[in-house]
Chain A
């Protein structure tokens, strides 16, 4: 018999600017995690294209493809580990697949949209068999550009 899933686990709405947002003590009772993030802007003047995501405090290896101005055929491609927060505003859906498995590295699929700027499709790898128990997001320039008030971060769990 099918069973309902896609369970909201935690949510942060920033009431003050923050350089980092962390989901900690994540239970291992689901198969995949989905983080839905809506950044309302960044303080400061970002000089880098992207923010970052850490799993269990560790950085990821990433490849991505992006498009801008509708020119998907001439999109850019790179492997510098970013999760883009271009020009501050952005919506991100981050899928952490098999996050609770202890026999697999973790593959992360992220779709990122920065309105009127670009879209990114990002594949990342956390080269560890440890279950993911914490996720940290921080902004460009090593977190010196803070997430604006009202930015939301919501984490869901999906069973299998």
Chain B
């Protein structure tokens, strides 16, 4: 959670104020910090929440895939669910789906319902990979990015197969709801996203991973 420090009459944003208590970090919402020899008050505008930013990856234009790694080993006891929020485009000539892989496997499958402005459709994403529709392609203006929200439900529970939900749009071209299924009870430790075409994500494409805490986390 960002905080704010008042310097020279203006509030400046600072990152995630926390204090270490008994060996663990605790979020705090107000306090004082010493700036230029003087104590300045700071505060955070919200109370600690249960939806937390874990990591953001921003593409430089030379990657066709990205991976969030060590998720279970780092966060498996902290979060109940995961969410990825992204804006992205690829070098493909038209809207480009993405492939999602959990733990590096190709066993995921998907179904989807989508509209393209003329027709509503549904279908299978493929037998050996999970497709999420869609990010913007090179046919759209260079500033136009597709966007999506991917949710992975109970990724760390070892008694359940894993279900992925995605809601995405390649703007003015397609909107899609996708469900992917990973038939293993293994906890999710890596998530890989890649363009279906194999072309690179455009410079500035960004992917942010969030965790949602459970009641006992």
Residues of A within 8 A of B (CB): 1-8, 29, 31-32, 61-67, 72-79, 95, 97-98, 101, 103-105, 107-109, 111, 121-125, 127, 129, 158-160
CB pair B171–A29 under 8 Å, yes or no, is no
CB pair A160–B171 under 8 Å, yes or no, is no
Residue of A7, A75, A122, A160 most packed against chain B (CB within 10 A): A160
Partner of B52, one of A2, A111, A129: A2
**B173 interfacial contact with A, CB 8 Å:** yes
Within 8 Å CB of A4, what residues of B? 1, 27, 46, 48-53
**B208 interfacial contact with A, CB 8 Å:** yes
A-B contact count (CB 8 A): 161
Give the CA-CA distance A72 to B51 in the complex, in Å: 31
CB pair A63–B169 under 8 Å, yes or no, is yes
Residue of B25, B45, B53, B115 most packed against chain A (CB within 10 A): B115
CB pair A75–B144 under 8 Å, yes or no, is no
Within 8 Å CB of A127, what residues of B? 141, 143-144
Q: Which stretch of B62-70, B146-154, B182-190 is in the interface? A: B146-154
Partner of B169, one of A2, A73, A107, A160: A107
Give the CA-CA distance A71 to B78 in the complex, in Å: 38
The verdict on A5 contacting B117 (CB below 8 Å), with A95-B149, A103-B143 known, is no
Interface on chain A toward B: helix, strand, loop, or mixed SS?
strand
CB pair A72–B172 under 8 Å, yes or no, is no
Within 8 Å CB of B173, what residues of A? 63
Please encode chain B, from 31 to 75, with 1 for each CB lying within 8 Å of some chain A CB and 0 for all others: 000000000000001101111111010000000000000000001
CB pair A123–B171 under 8 Å, yes or no, is yes
Partner of A111, one of B86, B114, B167: B167
Q: Which residue of A lies closest to B136 (CB)?
A: A107
CB pair A160–B208 under 8 Å, yes or no, is yes
CB pair B172–A63 under 8 Å, yes or no, is yes
Q: Can you sample 29 A-B contacts with CB below 8 Å? A: A1-B18, A3-B2, A3-B16, A3-B52, A4-B46, A29-B2, A63-B169, A64-B175, A65-B114, A65-B120, A72-B122, A74-B120, A75-B120, A77-B117, A77-B119, A79-B172, A97-B85, A97-B87, A98-B206, A104-B143, A107-B145, A109-B167, A109-B169, A123-B168, A123-B172, A123-B174, A125-B171, A129-B143, A158-B85
How far is the CB of B50 from the nearest CB of chain A, in Å? 8
CB pair B53–A76 under 8 Å, yes or no, is no
Residue of A7, A64, A65, A123 most packed against chain B (CB within 10 A): A123
How far is the CB of B125 from the nearest CB of chain A, in Å? 16
Partner of B141, one of A74, A75, A97, A105: A105
Contacts A78-B115, A109-B175, A124-B171 known; 15 new A-B pairs at CB < 8 A:
A2-B75, A4-B1, A32-B85, A64-B115, A72-B113, A75-B115, A75-B120, A95-B149, A104-B143, A104-B144, A107-B169, A109-B168, A123-B169, A127-B144, A160-B206
Within 8 Å CB of B148, what residues of A? 109
The 10 A-B residue pairs with the shortest CB-CB distance, nearest first, are A123-B169, A65-B115, A125-B171, A123-B175, A77-B115, A107-B147, A97-B147, A6-B51, A79-B117, A3-B16
Within 8 Å CB of A78, what residues of B? 115, 117
How far is the CB of B103 from the nearest CB of chain A, in Å? 21
Partner of B2, one of A77, A79, A105, A159: A159
Q: Which residue of B lies closest to A75 (CB)?
A: B120
Within 8 Å CB of B149, what residues of A? 95, 109
